[in-house]
Structure 1
Amino acid sequence: MRFIATYGLVALSLIFLLVEPIFEKTWMKVISGVLFSIGMIVSSVFIWLNASSKWKAMLGIISSMIALAIFLWAIN
């Protein structure tokens, strides 16, 4: 379940993003952005809850948020 909630949503969002130019539907970009955002937020929560050190958790969360910002900037 954890894989589906994090990396599964990220992979599904990338599939929507790659298929979007074929069908030329802008709603696919929106769905892709939403799925990627949910996946990265859930991933950050799981990183925080399962971390042995909160400093390591913060590094993981910061890198997740940077990836989210870059992705949302790229689909614009």
Structure 2
Amino acid sequence: MTPAEMAEQCKKQVALYGNDAEVMFRMPGRWGTGTKRLFGRRGGPVGRVIAEEAETVLVMFRAVDALNAIENALEVISDD
């Protein structure tokens, strides 16, 4: 899933459920801890790990926080 697709998914969730909406993304990694950052160490929002399958985890984030982080990352990418 591209960052633009992730942002679109966040926008859909916020439109349906408001600012308290949550969104889930499957990310590479192991359960290890109960939380995971959206963009590793870049200060992205922290989500709750809710499931693990093979080498991936399913992580739930507040949609508004994830959308802000994704849009900021896209701005940084487009500035380069």
TM-score, with length taken from structure 1: 0.43
Which has the higher Rg, Structure 1 or Structure 2? 1
Higher helix proportion, which one?
1
TM-score, with length taken from structure 2: 0.41
Higher strand proportion, which one?
2
